[in-house]
Amino acid sequence: MNGQQVDVKVMMLGKEYVGKTSLMERYMHDHFLVGSYQNTTGAAFVAKVMSVGNRTVTLGIWDTASSERYEAMTQIYYLGAKAAIVCYDLTDSSSFEQTKFWVKELQSLNENCQIYLCGTKNDLLEEDQRLRRVDFHDVQDFADDIKAQLFETSRKTGQSVDELFQKVAEDYAMWMPSN
């Protein structure tokens, strides 16, 4: 790869138990762990290098703790973030309401951060549509208002997970000026 190196700091935000850690696990290792995850304490970091056109893009992904006791510490991670994947559980309406808090906080601390809204646990809806508690059109309206892109994913099946992270990488590879 002869092109320019692009480093993108990506934040994973959202209410506890929406699937941020397992979404990142699916993307990084292409597998789904059955059973419960341990709550993230502070933040976890992984990096993935990929090629986008003639550029090398490194996504530095920060999976942040969501509980209130870590809130002040999480704000530190916003500094320098180029992208934020704000997650909510498609089967939990309160998790979508919480995205508004994360977006507002992020925008007040880092106005240049591109936001990607990510509905998780879409596999549960494939089994039973009655489990959906977050209306797609409401989320699309919110995404339009904040100029965010919207993805509905399943960390269990992998649906739209790679596409989400690929879009983040492509957006920043395109926005960076050529040498």
- Per-residue pLDDT averaged across 142-149, rounded? 98
The pLDDT of residue 152 is 98
Whether the model pTM is above 0.95: no
Enter the DSSP assignment of 70. Answer: G
Residue matched to tokens 């699916």:
26
Catalogue all structural domains in the chain, each as residue range(s) with its CATH number.
5-175 (3.40.50.300)
The pLDDT of residue 3 is 66
For the chain, the average pLDDT equals 88
- Per-residue pLDDT averaged across 168-179, rounded? 77
In degrees and rounded to multiples of 5, residue 89 shows phi and psi of -90, 125
The pLDDT tens digits for 67-118 are 554 456 667 778 899 999 999 999 999 999 999 999 998 999 998 999 999 9
Nearby residues of 55 by Cβ (< 8 Å), 6 or more positions away: 1, 3, 4, 5, 6, 173, 176
